Copies of this chain bind each other. A is one copy, B any other.
Amino acid sequence: MKKNKISIKDIAAAAGTSTTTVSFILNGKADHKVSPALIEKVLRIIEEKNYRPSSLAQSLRTGKTNTIALLVEDISNPFFSGIARLIEERAAKSGYKIVYSSTENNPEKTSTLLDFFQEKQVDGYIISPPDGALEDILKLKNKNIPVVLFDRHFAETNMNHVVVDNRLSSQTAIKHVINNGFKNVGCITLNSHQTQMAGRLQGYNDAIEQAGLKKYILNIDYKAGENERMVIEMAKFYKANPSMNALFFCTNYLAILGLEAMQRSNLKVGKDFAVVCFDEHDLFRLYSPPITVIAQPLAEIAENAFAILLNEMENQSNIKRVEMIEIPATLIIRQSTSNFSNFSITGSVF
């Protein structure tokens, strides 16, 4: 029945000193307050007993947890997990730990998560917010808790955020498709008010209108676990618009469903449709033919989001500032948007 948890008291007792002294030593505040001999002795005992301060107790006392909550839409999406990994790395350098969770784009789950992390008193939040989470997030702001949004933000409120130039990069991508000879470009997007989706749709609209072409738009009511329904909706959309010869998917998981719908409908990328997709994915790189994408600059997004948050957390002047950053995305052209006659020459699969 050995005593399990050792505390600062045990260390103090073993060293024949006070907890104050041990605490000073632990926090590097011992410089001219504690004799070198005692410092060394205490450190030795700490080492021997393999003592680690309880961060629970530390945080209770100091009000700092050195922990940041990262709320993403879906951690299994490579866009978000890529961001998460980069932020985690960056945060470690500044002594912060990241804890992440998926909101699944569900405002209720988000609300629960925010409550949870507030109880844990994390120091700051990096959030890709779902529709409907504005109110809960504003509550954070009102408590002066540092928050940065990314991937999307709330048009009706000025809050720190880091996003890409969804509109312009989408427009560029659609123009590329049109210039390659595809005059009937469809757009598959989410039925959502999220700013990034709105931006991508606008980019599509811009390009189509400028070229004076016809619009084909499908709004998908996205729900996790209802893949079957969504695949069927897309297949119907394809069937209902036989003139459509190109598709713009507004996000990677829509494209994955869309490819599945093609497979079932016996339609092929590079034969029946040119395809371009917002967001990168292993699948797109390795697909036959490889699929053109708009790739987001993960490193810049992660770096900027963290930098803004760090500033808010550590600069406690009472000047209030809001930082809103928009970063360009990159069009990676692959064979899925090649002119089909060209393609059938160079590609070997068709």
Inter-chain contacts of A282 with B (CB < 8 A): 256, 283
Kindly state the interface size class of chain A when it binds its partner: 35 or more
Interface residues of A in 273-288 (CB under 8 A from B): 282-283, 285-288
Is A100 an interface residue, CB under 8 A from the partner? yes
- Quick one: closest B residue to A290, CB to CB? B263
Instruction: Encode A62-98 as 1/0 by CB contact (under 8 A) with B.
Output: 0001000000000110100110110010000000010
Give Cα A241 to B84, complex, Å: 39
CB-based closest 4 A-B pairs: A76-B81, A55-B119, A283-B283, A56-B60
Copies of this chain, how many? 2
- Quick one: closest B residue to A81, CB to CB? B76
Give Cα A116 to B81, complex, Å: 21
Which of B59, B60, B285 contacts A260, CB < 8 Å? B285
- Quick one: closest B residue to A59, CB to CB? B56
Give Cα A2 to B256, complex, Å: 50
Tell whether, in the assembled complex, residue B52 and residue A60 are in contact, meaning their CB atoms are under 8 Å apart. no
Is A120 an interface residue, CB under 8 A from the partner? yes
Give Cα A56 to B268, complex, Å: 55
Between-chain CB contacts (< 8 Å), 28 pairs: A4-B143, A52-B115, A52-B119, A54-B60, A54-B121, A55-B119, A55-B120, A56-B56, A56-B59, A56-B65, A60-B60, A75-B76, A75-B81, A75-B84, A76-B84, A76-B85, A81-B81, A88-B101, A99-B99, A100-B100, A256-B282, A256-B286, A260-B286, A263-B286, A268-B349, A283-B283, A283-B286, A286-B287
